[in-house]
Structure 1
Amino acid sequence: MKSIYSKMLLLLFISSSVYSFAWGLTGHRIIAEIAENHLSGKAKREIKKMMGQERLAYWANWPDFVKSDTTGVWKETSTWHYVNIDPQTDFTAFERNLKAQSGASLYSQIKTLSAQIKDEKTSEKDRKIALIFLIHMMGDLSQPMHTGRSEDLGGNKINVTYFGDKTNLHSVWDGKLVDSQKYSYTEYAKLLDIKSQDEVKQIQSGTLENWLYDSHQIANKIYAQTPDGSKLGYDYQYKFNDTMERQLLYGGLRLAKVLNDLF
């Protein structure tokens, strides 16, 4: 987060097609678009001061794009995108083990970035960078395999085929399930964002720890139903499409909650 703002626009346009990213381009943009539709008036004004005219979806994938950087400036951010944790018996055990972890992770950095954005001593440039990472990482939070297990790197070591193509479980959830629906991110956001105000409030309730546990429980179900060597196709889409769409919607609504609270 040091004097690096000048690299941002260049890196934003680096091609990311050869990488496996959380939710992929479409998923992160869906989440950001849903969040934008639920921002308070004050949050919209404050974010516009920081970000300019671009919508949140414009920046939603930038923290993945910078993985292409070869200077090492962003190397420390690689662990910010996930929190690996073994299956826990209940929320109390999960929260205890989550808080006992050391080092930078999705859990620790969401809190750190939020604090940086609220801190008046944070420079304008670094606040913007922190906000961009926060937008992205709240999306990562809702991708179940980003709360997966360290032994298989969140499903990266679980080999599967998807409609005959060799891939891994993490990649299936990163983008293949989303992209197979063939919607643009604006179309998908509009289709998913149909909950009532009361339903939205319910989804946005709880803590960061509750939300991570929510994703963790879904990850456990995915692991149970997708062993190494699985051959995935239409039946897998049918089984998990509702779950995938739920997570996209919840990611967007919960991102909106975090941003509204910050501003």
Structure 2
Amino acid sequence: MKRLILALAALLTLTASPALAYWEYGHETIASIAYRNVKPQTRAAIDRLLAKQGLLETPTCPARTIEQASVWADCIKPLGPRFSYAYNWHYQNVNICKPFTLKGNCPDGNCVSAQIERDVKLLQDNSVPVREKVMALAFLVHFVGDLHQPLHAGDKGDLGGNRARADYGIYGPERLNLHTIWDGWLAERAISTPPPLVVAYPAEQRVAMSAGSIEDWSRESWQLARDVAYASAFGGDPCREGVPERGKLDAAAIEKLVDPMRLQVTRGGLRLARLLDEAFGPVPPRQ
């Protein structure tokens, strides 16, 4: 029985099961935090727009609620050429061993931070067709979540840590990598650790956590990728010579990563709430 349990655990790790993965649990939690903390009129506007989700014509990928919308951008990936143009919008892997800059790391505006900005503008534009607004809302909810998973914002030229092999506690199948750990096992551990994250936050905390620009948030996630995600798995400075070929997160390291992950999810939710309030509120005057 013990061997069977370990085999099943390894299989879940390799396949990044939706039940565990950040792409579902993390995204849905960020969306729920945002929905709980937006203005009432924003919440009503979100509900009205998502009531039109049938216009997307993706019956296998519904977006009836903000939680469903939060994973829509991943759900549509298997639909092939119809949405292949959006693939590069999920990340902006800025090299953690070089100074931070988005210049050159967001070719032709095809990266997560640029698309977040576009989606807000699409939602603010009354001339945009309803179908495009529903899509912009689903993309926005998802991409703010992506930006707050550090390995979507910084890497070492290894596809966001997908090529960085690493062990997670006692689990160490050959294909397990740093990206999967942060997407799945660590996200599940952190979000399920009490107290619950989906609550109404005090106004002061909402303002403090949602401050800054999208570029500021990008830099912050990039730094977390370098100083926390890679450093914790590879024993310090991930850009030094002699970095181990395979990383390792033992129980103590995992415990230390719970709070940073919970903080990122909370930041993502409250920052998404701010952007949604801006998207559905009065359009700011042009500068």
Task: Verify same fold: TM over 0.5.
Answer: yes
Instruction: Report how far residue 197 of structure 1 moved.
Output: 2.0
Alignment partner of 2:274 out of 253, 257, 261: 257
TM-score under structure 2 normalisation?
0.76
Q: CA contact under 8 A between 1:144 and 1:219: conserved in structure 2?
A: yes
Matches within 5 A, 1:220-231: 220-221=226-227, 222-227=229-234, 228-231=245-248
Instruction: Report how far residue 69 of structure 1 moved.
Output: 1.4
Q: CA contact under 8 A between 2:35 and 2:273: conserved in structure 1?
A: yes
Q: 1:51, 1:189 → 2: CA distance?
A: 29
| Alpha-carbon displacement from aligned partner over 1:170-209 (angstroms, at most 9, x marks no partner) | 11111211223583xxx97834647532122110111111
Instruction: Report how far residue 149 of structure 1 moved.
Output: 2.3
TM-score under structure 1 normalisation?
0.82
Match for residue 102 of structure 1? 107
Q: 1:36, 1:123 → 2: CA distance?
A: 23
Q: CA contact under 8 A between 1:20 and 1:174: conserved in structure 2?
A: no
Match for residue 49 of structure 1? 48
Matches within 5 A, 1:199-210: 199-210=205-216
Q: 1:128, 1:23 → 2: CA distance?
A: 23
The structure whose RCO (Cα within 8 Å, separation 6+) is larger is 1
C-alpha distance 215-41 of structure 1, shift in aligned 2 (>3 A)? same
Q: Point out 4+ residue stretches in structure 1 off by more than 6 angstroms.
A: none
C-alpha distance 111-181 of structure 1, shift in aligned 2 (>3 A)? closer
Q: 1:194, 1:130 → 2: CA distance?
A: 25
- Size of the aligned set, in residue pairs, is 238
Unaligned runs of 5+ in 2: 1-13, 53-63, 235-244, 281-287
Match for residue 83 of structure 2? 74
AA aligned opposite 1:132: A
Match for residue 65 of structure 1? 75
What is the percentage of aligned positions where both structures have the same residue? 29
Instruction: Report how far residue 51 of structure 1 moved.
Output: 0.7
Alignment partner of 2:224 out of 203, 214, 218: 218
Matches within 5 A, 1:3-42: 18=15, 23-42=22-41
C-alpha distance 99-40 of structure 1, shift in aligned 2 (>3 A)? farther
Matches within 5 A, 1:155-194: 155-162=161-168, 163-166=170-173, 167-180=176-189, 183=192, 190-191=196-197, 193=199
Secondary structure at the aligned position of 1:151 is classed as coil
AA aligned opposite 2:255: Y
| Alpha-carbon displacement from aligned partner over 1:210-243 (angstroms, at most 9, x marks no partner) | 1111111111112222234123242232121100
More helix by share: 1
Secondary structure at the aligned position of 1:236 is classed as helix
C-alpha distance 195-36 of structure 1, shift in aligned 2 (>3 A)? closer
Q: CA contact under 8 A between 2:33 and 2:269: conserved in structure 1?
A: yes
Looking at CA atoms only, which structure, 1 or 2, has the larger radius of gyration? 2
Instruction: Report how far residue 99 of structure 1 moved.
Output: 3.8
Q: CA contact under 8 A between 1:30 and 1:189: conserved in structure 2?
A: no
C-alpha distance 224-181 of structure 1, shift in aligned 2 (>3 A)? closer
Farther-moved stretch of structure 1 (137-146 vs 50-59): 50-59
Instruction: Report how far residue 58 of structure 1 moved.
Output: 2.1
Q: 1:77, 1:66 → 2: CA distance?
A: 10
Q: 2:102, 2:195 → 1: CA distance?
A: 31
Unaligned runs of 5+ in 1: 1-16
AA aligned opposite 1:84: N
